[in-house]
Amino acid sequence: MPALRRNPTRSVRIGSVTIGSQHAIAVQSMTATHTQDVDATVAQAEALREAGADVVRVAVDSKKDAEALAEIRKQTRANLAVDLQENYRLAELVAPHVDKIRYNPGHLYHHEQEKPWQEKVAYLAGIARENDCAIRIGVNCGSVDPAKKNKYGPNDTIGPMLESAVDHCQYLDDLGYTRYCVSLKDSDPRHVVEVNRQFAARRPDVPLHLGVTEAGMPPDGIIKTRIAFEQLVSQGIGDTVRVSLTVTNDRKPEEIAAGRQILADIASGRVRSVVDYGLKSLNIISCPSCSRVENEAFIHLAQQVKEMTRYAEDHAITIAVMGCRVNGPGETDDADLGLWCGPNFVNLKRGPESLGQYPYDAILDKVRQELDRLIATGTGKA
Ligand code: SF4
């Protein structure tokens, strides 16, 4: 698999880490301790850093939290980010202690309602500049700017998020402040994919922070997030990621491990959903396997398919090899040829159409025939 392509996003430094297309995709997480419990928060920030977190976010909701943050800063080497909630004025208290400030355009309305949002953003950019901080414009489906929501109507979830992000980027650009990234989060991975794709098409230069909110507990929470990341990262979209999992405090570093694993899997074609890497050549993908695999022969088969199909390298055809009957049948629909493995047989598909079941020792020949047919008719759709 060639190196993943990336959108030409600009570089944005967050403490000792820089995100953007010239840099590896960063992985981040967030503390879940009470921020005023300095010992616990420092311990968790350090545990995340040691697990490989590039950035650790801390929630700050009050002046007391901001005071605790000053102490936390002294005791951890993690690059720190904060979420500003409704009280955006806390920025001046927290910025001296962190490397990035996240604000939510949908929260800027709550305080000082007579002031236009532009004035508030100008204030935040000024604070960020003075304190050597990056900014994240964090748009969230659950708290979209009410003015945008009214404009688009109750059934459009994408439009208000997109316009909100694009407007805020433009305004920061107009202020001459370009050290920012954007996130567009939703609890539905399909919405995450759609809104991030549309944003990246409009602003391919702006680094994106990817995440699925309220993803839930592992393994389901990881799977949901993985599907969204697969569809985006494979298309060059995403410069930093967070996997949000419902886990106890001692297990928080699992978010980092999950993020790194997903990125490594995408880079090597181990994916659960059919992805288009934008290749003009053969695209063989296989699921990363999990406890649902019903026949270990699947692992070997995935390897054999890769080797056997090498002769077709120059053809833009996608072949998906999936390990089970739970997800295999659905997840192979978008591939030109799909194989999903049952306990004794392998099921073969051409797009959504079933071509029958074959024993493990007969499937390779059949795949070869079908592949030759696709090449001869030029019907590969990858
Ligand atoms: S296709 Fe089945 S075996 Fe493979 S990762 Fe998905 S659920 Fe697990």
pLDDT digits (tens, 9 = 90+) for 60-116: 989 999 999 999 999 999 999 998 877 899 999 999 999 999 999 999 887 888 889
Domains plus CATH for the chain? 12-267 (3.20.20.20), 283-377 (3.30.413.10)
Report the alpha-carbon distance of residue 339 to residue 328 in Å, rounded. Answer: 8
Q: Is the CB of 296 under 6 A from ligand 1?
A: no
Q: Ligand 1 centroid to 154 CA: how many Å?
A: 35
Low-confidence ranges of the chain (pLDDT < 50): 381-382
Stated pTM of the model: 0.86
**pLDDT in the model for residue 114:** 85
Q: Ligand 1 centroid to 126 CA: how many Å?
A: 48
Atom of ligand 1 nearest to the CA of 287: 4
**pLDDT in the model for residue 336:** 95
Atom of ligand 1 nearest to the CA of 288: 5
The answer to whether the bond into 96 is cis (omega within 30° of 0) is: no
Give whole-number Cα distances, 85 to 62, 134, 248, in Å: 9, 17, 23
Q: Ligand 1 centroid to 328 CA: how many Å?
A: 7
Give whole-number Cα distances, 163 to 86, 196, 207, 233, in Å: 20, 12, 17, 22
Q: Is the CB of 324 under 6 A from ligand 1?
A: yes
Q: Is the CB of 323 under 6 A from ligand 1?
A: yes
Q: Is the CB of 204 under 6 A from ligand 1?
A: no
Q: Ligand 1 centroid to 297 CA: how many Å?
A: 14
**pLDDT in the model for residue 275:** 84
**pLDDT in the model for residue 382:** 42
Report the alpha-carbon distance of residue 106 to residue 6 in Å, rounded. Answer: 29
Q: Is the CB of 325 under 6 A from ligand 1?
A: no
Nearest CA to ligand 1 atom 3: 323
Kind plus residue range of the DSSP H or E element containing 307: helix 297-308
**pLDDT in the model for residue 381:** 47
**pLDDT in the model for residue 380:** 58
- Pocket perturbation via mutation, ligand 1, pick of 227, 274, 324, 325 by most ligand atoms within 8 A of CB: 324
Q: Pick left, alpha or beta for residue 222 (phi over 0 → left; psi -120 to 50 → alpha; otherwise beta).
A: alpha
Report the alpha-carbon distance of residue 321 to residue 346 in Å, rounded. Answer: 10
